[in-house]
Structure 1
Amino acid sequence: MSESVKKPGRPRSNQSHQAILRATLDLLAQMSYERVSIDAIAARAGVGKTTIYRRYRSKEELVADAIESVREEIEIPDTGSLWGDLDCIIESAVQMTRTPVGRQILATIIGAASSSPKFAQVYWEKYLQPRRAAFHTVIERAKVRDEIQPDTDSDLVFDLISGIMLYAMVFTPTIEPVQAYIRRAIDFLLK
């Protein structure tokens, strides 16, 4: 006779998880990051605080996960050329800000990261570092194809391009489309 081993506690409910993420995003759309609390998220989602704390160690982790739940997966484009890959990356980044929700998410990321070092660290580790690593792949392929200098620092280029993109998405250029502005800035940077 074999005994089945039971795991402690109840299994996690995907329905509860989705409710927690939706509640977090709803509250972030209504108030600042600092004012959003685990209590408010739990009440809005119709779950107990313990349900949230079984999934997340902190508000920072929960907010970062909620934000990322509405963003596209990280894809490493491979069009065969640096500019083809960069155009895909630019389009993906700009796509997020084409809706009011996307612009709100961008504002939340910027606001929360600037006011909460803990959120900034969590977001950096869980979401920006993987994107930086994916971008490294794009740059390394461009080096192999002799499209850029072999000593190009992919991390520095990623940081500079991220800054250019954030600037262009927050302070929309008036003389040209955002994608054209970003492309022109990257072209200048890589020369």
Structure 2
Amino acid sequence: MTVMGTARPAGRPRSERAEKAIVDATLDLIGEGTSVSELSIEAVAARAGVGKTTIYRRWANKEELVGDALATLKAPLPVVEGRTVREDLVAYLDVMRQDSLTLRTRCIMNIAMSEPDRHPNLYERFHKTAIEPRRVAMRAVLGRGVASGELRPDLDIELAIGMLSGTMLWYTKGAAHNNTPLADDLAARIVDEALRGFLSR
């Protein structure tokens, strides 16, 4: 017999706990070296302690699940209102640096993004949820700098984004390959060097 008015147990709702367990299981399996091609819904379900139907109620396929799981690894975008262009760019690039700090995260990102041709839906989903929002933010910062006269009026914004983010990725890839730490001031150094060419003269 159910007693009316009985308080619900404290903690996360059951559906949220199950979703977190599924995401964690996905990341654990990839972090342990399972490629996206080798990963199966059955293995994720077993690791998470849920049924396959629980997973399929939330994700239509493996690529959607992995894409959403990877997006949880990305550090949140910083609040940059009122900062200078330099400060904003350093903040955004440092988020990229922080994303690569842990060995587990680097391993997961390298494995999951190593097969874009075989898993185009995964790459597209990850790009939409984790990469494009950062490009949009950097595009807005650079555009504001051009409009205010802080940056050159003829600045190629898309190329500038590629130069800044590409340089940070080059360093993070090297750190992952050599298992070496990244300098805390790396973002500032990249931005300062780039701004030598970006600034209005």
TM-score normalised by the chain length of structure 2: 0.76
1:90 equivalent to 2:93? Answer yes
Structure 1 counterpart of 2:124: 121
Q: CA deviation at 1:186?
A: 3.0
Structure 1: distance between partners of 2:31 and 2:82? 36
- Within a 5 Å distance, the mapping from 1:57-136 to structure 2 comes to 57-113=60-116, 115-136=118-139
Greater RCO, 1 or 2 (C-alpha within 8 Å, sep 6+): 2
Structure 2 counterpart of 1:4: none
Greater helix proportion: 1
Relative to 1, partners in 2 of residues 1:52 and 1:189: Cα closer, same or farther, differing over 3 Å? farther
TM-score normalised by the chain length of structure 1: 0.80
Question: Which of 36, 40, 44 lines up with 2:43 in the alignment?
Answer: 40
Amino acid at match of 2:190: I
Amino acid at match of 1:147: E
Contact kept, 8 Å, 2:36 with 2:112, in 1: the verdict is no
Q: CA deviation at 1:88?
A: 0.9
Contact kept, 8 Å, 2:142 with 2:157, in 1: the verdict is yes
Contiguous gaps of at least 5 residues in structure 2: 1-12
Structure 2: distance between partners of 1:129 and 1:147? 24
Structure 2 counterpart of 1:14: 16
1:27 equivalent to 2:35? Answer no
Structure 2: distance between partners of 1:111 and 1:133? 24
SS at 1:80's partner residue? Answer: coil
Question: Which of 176, 181, 198 lines up with 1:190 in the alignment?
Answer: 198
Structure 1: distance between partners of 2:98 and 2:14? 32
Relative to 1, partners in 2 of residues 1:127 and 1:24: Cα closer, same or farther, differing over 3 Å? same
What CA RMSD, in Å, does the superposition of the two structures yield over aligned residues? 2.7
Deviations 1:35-85 (A, max 9, x none): 111111111111112211111122112112112223222235235311111
Structure 2: distance between partners of 1:89 and 1:136? 11
**Which 4+ stretches in 1 moved above 4 angstroms?**
none
Contact kept, 8 Å, 2:74 with 2:130, in 1: the verdict is no
1:143 equivalent to 2:179? Answer no
Deviations 1:74-114 (A, max 9, x none): 23523531111111112211112222123223313432436
Structure 2: distance between partners of 1:156 and 1:76? 24
- Identity, in percent, stands at 33
Contiguous gaps of at least 5 residues in structure 1: 1-10
Structure 2: distance between partners of 1:12 and 1:55? 14
Relative to 1, partners in 2 of residues 1:180 and 1:37: Cα closer, same or farther, differing over 3 Å? same
